[in-house]
């Protein structure tokens, strides 16, 4: 209420209240007080007298305009001509009412309030649309669209400056985050992500722009990091955000992160290039085992393009029948006859020929395709195993490799169950080979999964034993049946006393725990002789047979062709 007469304000409020309008008002009579009131509170209406000592409605309207507020302005005065009132309305005044004509003023106020409500609804909708378009709903961080616009604006400004400017873009990906969702549910996963965001913001520092790219992947643009040393320091701080466990429902969840770094102008002169190159560097850090950082190098882009093409082809390989299995026999140390076979995945590409497993299996892991492919391998291997059993080779077991990605999926249990039911393959003849490093990633969760698998009747083999970081106390608790000695120890047992000593310890340890030992990578009679003297239970390697197709393996088993 822009009014110099307190009695007029009191009377107007009383009349509005008597007509059922619940109002709050403040009286001002100067430009200074009006500006202060507009700054301190959100107002629905300004009702102004026209002529006051040292102040008038035109000056009041100008103060409202300068405030930037979209507030209806009503002149309520007895001292203004119709000509002046019409002129004021052309200048933006919502209406003019003669002072004392409360019967006309109330409908005007109600009309303007409806307009205010409508405009606010539109503003709220606009704000919501803006938030959905440019911000991530879970973390409240900018999304990739907004970040790219901010980075491109910064780069445009940098190009206009007289000197070249450098900055750093980092992509942060939480390692093996899928385990959180699959083990504890998406609510727990979302809570962990929000805590991760809080930690990243805390360590990124002032001036950094942070966005959520997708899932558990974040982007940090740091204009202040102008050298590789500064970029490396920031990357380390971001990785240190996960140095302490995140507590969820009383559980300590230990996480790590892989960080990829790209720097402008050398690694890109626009936001899209920088993000793509930082993601390529991050993928390189993941391939190195995660929990590390990698700076972008140009050869990564060529590698990424090649991988993308290969991944696209791999997605169709199952449907097109391009994948097949070879089998390598595992010989019994006492009889010299095969007691089992290991199923090994192969891919015959229609143009590239046979693709090496070390090229496409890591790609299948990284892309998640290994879950579908692994289920196919298990079904194919069990089907072939059942076929051999029908032909009289019913002592033969079949070993199938289970990757880290597969083992982290609760659906592995359903895959094993349905495969055994559909193929009729005996559970006790199926051996699931899981690497030592995978089993030790989260030992407590691992024990639960292994017990569930054992309850189905299948056997568990710890693959690549000796290359990881097993705790003997956990080894005793793991419900496993077989320990496979890694070929890196077998290779030099006749020349390297350390390797020979390690193998002796592994065999003795396995025997004390009533576990079967399998030595893989046996290639020479000397290696075979040493392992037999140390009473290793099973042998696998090129000395006996390379991986071959099912028909050839069957012929050799019937012919007894595995003697050394």
Mean pLDDT over 330-348 rounds to 92
Distance CA 220, CA 202 (A): 12
pLDDT value for 162: 62
Mean pLDDT over 217-245 rounds to 93
Most trustworthy range by pLDDT among 152-156, 206-210, 387-391: 387-391
Cβ-count burial 20-56 (b if 16+ within 10 Å, e if not): eeeeeeebbbbbeebeebbeeeebebbbbbbebeebb
Judge whether residue 303 has pLDDT over 60: no
Structure tokens at 34: 């009006």
Q: What is the pLDDT of residues 76-102, one digit of tens each?
A: 988 777 777 777 788 888 888 888 888
CATH number for the domain running over 6-134: 3.40.50.2300
pLDDT band at 396; cut points 50, 70, 90 = very high
Q: Residue 106 CB: number of other CB atoms within 10 A?
A: 16
Percent above pLDDT 90 for the chain: 40
Judge whether residue 472 has pLDDT over 60: no
For 427, which DSSP code? G
Are 65 and 46 spatial neighbours (Cβ–Cβ below 8 Å)? no
Q: What is the pLDDT of residues 479-494, one digit of tens each?
A: 899 999 988 889 888 8
SS3 category, 9: helix
Judge whether residue 358 has pLDDT over 90: no
425/562: higher pLDDT: 425
Cis ω on the peptide bond leading into residue 364 (within 30° of 0)? no
Q: What is the pLDDT of residues 183-207, one digit of tens each?
A: 777 788 888 899 999 999 999 988 8
Who contacts 487 (Cβ-Cβ below 8 Å, separation ≥6)?
A: 520, 521, 541
SS3 category, 350: coil
For residue 357, give the H/E element and its range.
helix 357-367
pLDDT value for 125: 67
Domain ranges of the chain: 6-134, 144-296, 308-558
pLDDT value for 523: 93
Most trustworthy range by pLDDT among 306-310, 403-407, 434-438, 542-546: 542-546
Structure tokens at 203: 């360590």
249/503: higher pLDDT: 503
pTM: 0.54
Distance CA 112, CA 116 (A): 6
Are 535 and 508 spatial neighbours (Cβ–Cβ below 8 Å)? no
Place of tokens 């409508």: 118
pLDDT band at 302; cut points 50, 70, 90 = low
Mean pLDDT (the chain, rounded) = 86
Distance CA 61, CA 79 (A): 17
CATH number for the domain running over 308-558: 3.20.20.450
Instruction: Quote the Cα angle for 203-209-215, to 5°.
Output: 80
Judge whether residue 122 has pLDDT over 90: no
Query: Is the CATH code 2.40.340.10 the one for domain 144-296?
Result: no
Mean pLDDT over 265-286 rounds to 89
Mean pLDDT over 409-415 rounds to 89
357-367 helix and 271-287 helix, angle to the nearest 10 degrees: 120
Cα torsion 266, 272, 276, 282: sign: positive
Judge whether residue 34 has pLDDT over 60: yes
pLDDT value for 131: 58
Lowest-pLDDT range of 208-212, 319-323, 472-476: 472-476
Judge whether residue 533 has pLDDT over 80: yes
| Residue 102: C-alpha distances to residues 4, 105, 115 (Å) | 19, 5, 20
Please name which of 389, 464, 484 lies closest in space to residue 430, comparing C-alpha atoms: 389
Mean pLDDT over 503-513 rounds to 89
Most trustworthy range by pLDDT among 44-58, 383-397, 440-454: 383-397
Alpha carbon distance, N-terminus to C-terminus of the chain = 105
Distance CA 141, CA 317 (A): 39
pLDDT value for 269: 84
Mean pLDDT over 502-519 rounds to 90
Structure tokens at 58: 């035109």
């Amino acid at each position: 209420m822009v009014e110099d007469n307190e009695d007029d304000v009191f009377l107007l409020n009383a009349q509005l209240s008597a007509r059922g309008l619940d109002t709050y008002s403040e009286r001002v009579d100067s430009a200074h007080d009006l500006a202060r009131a507009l700054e301190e509170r959100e107002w629905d209406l300004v009702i102004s007298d026209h002529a006051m000592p040292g102040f008038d409605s035109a000056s009041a309207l100008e103060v409202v305009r300068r405030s930037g507020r979209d507030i209806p302005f009503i002149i309520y005065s007895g001292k203004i001509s119709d000509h002046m009132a019409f002129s004021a309305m052309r200048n933006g005044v919502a209406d003019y009412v003669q002072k004392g004509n409360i019967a006309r003023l109330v409908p005007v106020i109600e009309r303007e309030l409806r307009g205010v409500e409508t405009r606010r609804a539109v503003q709220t909708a606009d704000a919501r649309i803006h938030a959905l378009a440019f911000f991530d709903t879970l973390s409240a961080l900018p999304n990739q669209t907004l970040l790219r616009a901010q980075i491109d604006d910064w780069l445009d400004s940098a190009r206009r400056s007289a000197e070249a400017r450098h900055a750093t873009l980092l992509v942060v990906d939480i390692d093996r985050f899928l385990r959180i969702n699959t083990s504890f549910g998406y609510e727990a996963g979302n809570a962990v992500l929000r805590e991760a965001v809080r930690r990243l913001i805390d360590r990124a520092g002032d001036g950094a722009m942070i966005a959520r790219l997708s899932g558990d992947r974040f982007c940090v643009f740091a204009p202040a990091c102008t050298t590789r040393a500064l970029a490396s320091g920031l990357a380390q701080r971001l990785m240190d955000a996960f140095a302490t466990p995140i507590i969820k429902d009383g559980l300590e969840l230990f996480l790590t992160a892989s960080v990829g770094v790209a720097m402008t102008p050398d690694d890109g002169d626009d936001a899209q290039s920088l993000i793509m190159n930082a993601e390529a560097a991050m993928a390189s850090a993941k391939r190195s085992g995660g929990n590390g950082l990698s700076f972008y190098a140009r050869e990564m882009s060529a590698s990424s393009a090649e991988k993308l093409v290969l991944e696209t082809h791999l997605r169709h390989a199952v449907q097109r029948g391009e994948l097949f299995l070879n089998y390598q026999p595992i010989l019994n140390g006492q009889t010299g006859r095969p007691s089992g076979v290991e199923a090994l995945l192969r891919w015959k590409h229609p143009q590239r020929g046979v693709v090496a497993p070390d090229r496409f299996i890591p790609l299948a892991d990284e892309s998640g395709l290994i879950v579908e492919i692994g289920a196919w391998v298990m079904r194919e291997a069990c089907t072939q195993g059942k076929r051999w059993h029908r032909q009289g080779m019913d002592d033969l077991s079949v070993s199938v490799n289970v990757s880290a990605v597969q083992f982290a999926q609760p659906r592995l249990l359903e895959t094993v169950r349905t495969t055994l039911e559909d193929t009729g393959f005996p559970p006790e003849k199926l051996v699931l080979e899981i690497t030592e490093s995978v089993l030790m990633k989260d030992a407590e969760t691992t024990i639960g999964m292994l017990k569930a698998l054992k309850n189905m009747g299948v056997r568990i083999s710890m693959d690549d034993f000796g290359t990881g970081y097993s705790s003997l106390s956990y080894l005793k608790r793991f419900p496993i049946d077989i320990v496979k000695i890694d070929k890196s120890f077998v290779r030099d047992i006749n020349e390297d006393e350390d390797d020979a000593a390690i193998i002796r310890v592994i065999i003795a340890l396995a025997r004390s725990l009533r576990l079967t030992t399998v030595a893989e990578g046996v290639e020479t009679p000397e290696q075979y002789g040493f392992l037999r003297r140390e009473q290793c239970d099973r042998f696998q390697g090129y000395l006996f047979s390379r991986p071959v197709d099912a028909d050839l393996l069957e012929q050799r088993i019937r012919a007894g062709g595995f003697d050394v």
